[in-house]
């Protein structure tokens, strides 16, 4: 590229859904002729995509903005925290512009304003942008966002106020993107949204078209179609609607991965009602058992909140008992964070911070023991593994039970004759509470 090509730095914070937003902005900037660079000193301007979900995320976003200002000086802010522009400009009045989540045209327009597009003629979709767009993940896996926003009003969450109500992408557009990604070498599609199982609710499950054939805008039909592309398909952020049961047979058939990321958040009915979440833990256990009957290898991942306002000792003990009964495979847990704007902040009494931390420690101690037992049961099994990294001492991959960044890994010591993106058969030889070790089964 010529020396006068305008250069943009990019800082992407937050969840995989925000990462997809970053990828979309970067793809447009590259198509407009900008060069994306990896350091502040190389950049003519820096874009920071923020997270505003909880106070800790806001603090991280404000720190990242400050660092970009100190290191570069020309900063445009976008993302979830951009919906609360005053919080940013009160602390960092030097920022050039602030745009909110999903405002792709506005943030690209701000870049055009403060760093004009190159005048030279270019062919963006030939020499600048690969067919799958710009990806911030390794080339063998990609996040695929199928909708924006959420219709729920969980009392601990401000996402609907930041991103609005549910808007599902046309099913043909989703499938076209999935096909482009797989054609470009992606081996794993990680399906994300604010509420994956609500896909199509806003369109009344309208029938769309893909490659000339009708296809309903609904999670089951989307999963069925994606399962024919040949890549791993992993579902994240699945709200526990009754129709989630319909995708379990697809997992048993091997069409999509036997993996369900379903945030239960709590187990006690009173706490769930206060959260405005489904409130029947007995039915949840029945459904878990039914899923395992249909698909014995299913991996269940969930997240929980402890220290929610009003949570009593008895309600927390109920949650621990639920963990014993549910025997979930992968679990994340967080203490309640009183993010500004969450209606749960008005619930009393608030749980003291030291009690929250003690409950978090007890929760994780119990779940670590469950995880260790379940992983020990995998020793001796032969599993398909997707290779993520290869180093001097061996390679690291993930089984179908492990999503990138949040779950465990499997280590293949001294095995360097593979490459990232390879899918290989591995015999598990050892395990701890988080990870596995194994040996590749050579053909």
Q: Measured between alpha carbons, how far is 114 from 8 in angstroms, rounded to an integer?
A: 11
* Residue 46 neighbours by CB under 8 Å, 6+ apart: 8, 9, 10, 11, 40, 68, 71, 72, 74, 75, 76
Plot region of 320 (φ>0 → left; ψ -120 to 50 → alpha; else → beta)? alpha
* Residue 101 neighbours by CB under 8 Å, 6+ apart: 18, 21, 78, 79, 80, 82, 83, 162, 163
Q: Are 288 and 244 in contact (CB under 8 A)?
A: no
What is the residue-wise DSSP string for 12-79? E-SSHHHHHHHHHHHHHHHHTTPEEESSTTT-SEEEEEE--SSHHHHHHHHHHHHHHHHHTS-EEEEE
Q: Measured between alpha carbons, how far is 173 from 146 in angstroms, rounded to an integer?
A: 9
Strands 394-399 and 410-413, bridge-based pairing: antiparallel
Nearest in space to 156 (alpha carbons), one of 360, 368, 351: 351
- Point out the annotated binding site for [4Fe-4S] cluster: 15, 51, 80, 150, 154, 157
Helix (H, G, I), strand (E, B) or coil at 136: coil
How far is it between the farthest Cα atoms of the chain? Answer: 68
Q: Are 182 and 225 in contact (CB under 8 A)?
A: no
**Residue 275: both structure tokens together:** 């959260």
- Point out the annotated binding site: 15, 51, 80, 150, 154, 157
């Amino acid at each position: 590229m010529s020396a006068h090509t305008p250069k943009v730095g990019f800082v992407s914070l937050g969840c995989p859904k925000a990462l997809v937003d970053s990828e979309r902005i970067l793809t447009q900037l590259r198509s407009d002729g900008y060069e994306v660079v990896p350091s502040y000193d190389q950049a003519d301007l820096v874009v920071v995509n923020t997270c505003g979900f909880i106070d800790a995320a806001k603090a991280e976003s404000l720190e990242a903005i400050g660092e970009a200002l100190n290191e570069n000086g020309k900063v445009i802010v976008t993302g979830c925290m951009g919906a609360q522009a005053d919080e940013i400009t009160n602390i960092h009045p030097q920022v050039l512009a602030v745009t909110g989540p999903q405002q792709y045209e506005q943030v690209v327009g701000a870049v055009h304003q403060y760093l004009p597009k190159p005048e030279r003629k270019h062919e963006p979709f030939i020499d600048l942008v690969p067919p799958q767009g710009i990806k911030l993940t390794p080339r063998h896996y990609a996040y695929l966002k199928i909708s924006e926003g959420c219709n729920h009003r969980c009392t601990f969450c401000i996402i609907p106020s930041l991103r609005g109500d549910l808007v599902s992408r046309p099913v043909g557009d989703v499938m076209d993107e999935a096909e482009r990604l797989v054609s470009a070498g992606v081996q794993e599609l990680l399906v994300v949204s604010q509420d994956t199982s609500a896909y199509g609710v806003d369109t009344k499950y309208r029938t769309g078209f893909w490659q000339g054939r009708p296809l309903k805008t609904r999670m089951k039909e989307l999963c069925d179609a994606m399962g024919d592309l040949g890549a791993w398909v992993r579902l994240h952020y699945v709200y526990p609607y009754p129709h989630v049961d319909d995708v379990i047979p697809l997992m048993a058939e091997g069409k999509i991965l036997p993996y369900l990321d379903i945030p239960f958040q709590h187990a006690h009915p009173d706490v769930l009602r206060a959260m405005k979440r489904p409130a029947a833990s007995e039915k949840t256990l029945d459904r878990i058992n039914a899923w395992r009957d249909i698909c014995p290898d299913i991996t269940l991942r969930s997240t929980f909140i402890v220290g929610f306002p009003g949570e009593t000792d008895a309600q927390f003990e109920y949650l621990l008992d639920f963990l014993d009964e549910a025997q979930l495979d992968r679990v994340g847990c967080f203490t309640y964070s009183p993010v500004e704007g969450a209606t749960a902040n008005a619930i009393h009494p608030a749980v003291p911070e030291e009690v929250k931390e003690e409950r978090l420690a007890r929760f994780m101690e119990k779940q670590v023991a469950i995880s260790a037992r379940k992983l020990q049961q995998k020793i001796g099994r032969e599993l398909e593994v997707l290779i993520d990294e290869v180093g001097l001492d061996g390679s690291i991959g993930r089984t179908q039970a492990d999503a990138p960044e949040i779950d465990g890994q499997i280590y293949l010591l001294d095995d360097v004759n593979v490459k990232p993106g390879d899918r290989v058969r591995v015999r598990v030889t050892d395990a701890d509470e988080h990870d596995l070790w194994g040996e590749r089964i050579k053909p």
